[in-house]
Amino acid sequence: MSNKNTKQEFLLLRELFNESLLRDLIIFVIFYLFILAQSWKNIFLLLFPVITYSFSLFFRIISANKWRISIYDNTITYNPLGLEKKHANRLTFIAILQLILLFWIGGESYYHPQLIQIYDFFFNIVFNFIYTFGFYWILIDIWKYSKITIETRSIIEENSGILVNHLNLKNFKLIYLINLCTFILLNILNLGIVILTENNAFLGIMYLLPGTGIENSLPLRISASSLLIIVISPLIAILLFYLIYKKISIINPSELIEKLQLLPESKQNNIIETLKKINHKYYRDFSSE
């Protein structure tokens, strides 16, 4: 990856991608094309892996370009959203699982169409569980990695680093509680509606599969809760990440400058200038000091 444009305010699209990002994207696209080749008549279920992978791609792009921060000062660890690489890996895995499940149910509609109605209950429970688990999974250990630190070991041996900001216990408990409750409630709601749908066919949504109609097979009956789950899970994740980012972005410039007093003045200035470059709020805060 070229460093020619690293100091430009805006990056070219090609500069945002690296080898691992392209690898994951190609794998996802190939899996997705396999599914599209089955000639799905309704794209609703196909939106689930797209949404999951979109989040993964977002975190992968951030992770792939984290090295740009070290151009200014490689002693700063800037993780306001936690470890983006870990988030991306988890969500990519979940997206691939969803694609495999969709490919399986699409194939079954061709090769064993008479069994599709038997799979209704299993598919609705597992597919929605996997989708909601992905957004729950990326937040369960966010407190370990969501922080901003300044490494000082090479300068002051007795102090390995300065903690600029992090998620405290109160913030983490609130985020974890919201995350856990959302995951549990959505799956309980889904289970209840799936059970009701099994007992009353009128409550389900008849979903056409690629092989629907073969041997007079009926459509897949999906739970109405899927309409809610596809929206609620990512929205809650966005809200929680926004709260985390907002919390990490709040620093007291005077307190930080005081913590940096033991460092050489040139190093202090370099750290402050780096923070100002990587976050507009820090730029305003330090400029007003």
| Same domain membership, residue 284 and residue 141 | no
Is 74 within the bounds of a domain? yes
Q: What is the pLDDT of residue 113?
A: 86
Tell me the residue range of the domain where 178 lies.
Answer: 15-250
185 shares a domain with 121? yes
* Judgement on whether residues 285 and 157 belong to the same structural domain of the protein: no
Amino acid at 159: N
Structural domain contains residue 9: no
**102 contact partners, CB below 8 Å, separation of at least 6:** 35, 45, 46, 49
- The answer to whether residue 171 is domain-embedded is yes
Give pLDDT, residue 2.
Answer: 40
287 shares a domain with 217: no
Task: List own/partner pairs for 112-116 with CB under 8 A and 24 or more apart.
Answer: 113/211, 113/212, 113/214, 113/215, 113/217, 114/215, 114/217, 116/209, 116/212, 116/217, 116/218, 116/219, 116/220
b (16+ CB within 10 A) / e for 190-203: bbebbeebeeeeee
pLDDT at 75: 78
Is residue 51 included in any domain, yes or no?
yes
Within-domain flag for 241: yes
Q: Does 1 fall in a domain?
A: no
Question: Does residue 203 share a domain with residue 280?
Answer: no
Do 206 and 171 lie in a common domain? yes
pLDDT of residue 139: 94
Q: Please indicate, yes or no, if residue 93 is contained in any of the structural domains.
A: yes
Q: Looking at the structure, do residues 198 and 289 belong to the same domain, yes or no?
A: no
Return the amino acid letter for 128: N
Instruction: Work out how many domains the chain is built from and give that number.
Output: 2
**Is the domain of 146 the same as that of 286?**
no
Do both 156 and 280 map to the same domain? no
DSSP H or E stretch at residue 206: strand 205-207
Own/partner contacts of 260-265, CB < 8 Å, gap of 24 or more, are 260/150, 260/162, 262/156, 262/159, 263/152, 263/155, 263/156, 264/155
Kindly state whether residues 262 and 225 are assigned to the same domain. Answer: no
Shared-domain flag, residues 181 and 222? yes
Q: Which amino acid is at 253?
A: P
Check residue 4 and give its pLDDT: 42
pTM reported for the whole predicted model: 0.87
Tens-digit pLDDT string for the chain (289 aa): 344 444 455 555 556 677 788 888 999 999 999 999 999 989 999 999 999 999 999 999 888 887 776 656 677 888 889 999 999 999 999 999 999 999 999 999 999 888 888 888 899 999 999 999 999 999 998 988 888 888 776 444 445 678 888 888 888 889 999 999 999 999 999 999 999 988 876 678 889 999 888 888 888 999 899 999 999 999 999 999 999 998 888 887 787 777 787 777 777 788 888 787 777 777 676 666 6
In contact, 248 and 167? CB cutoff 8 Å: yes
Q: Is residue 2 part of a domain?
A: no
Alpha carbons 221 and 273: distance in angstroms, whole number: 58
226 plus 265 within the same structural domain: no
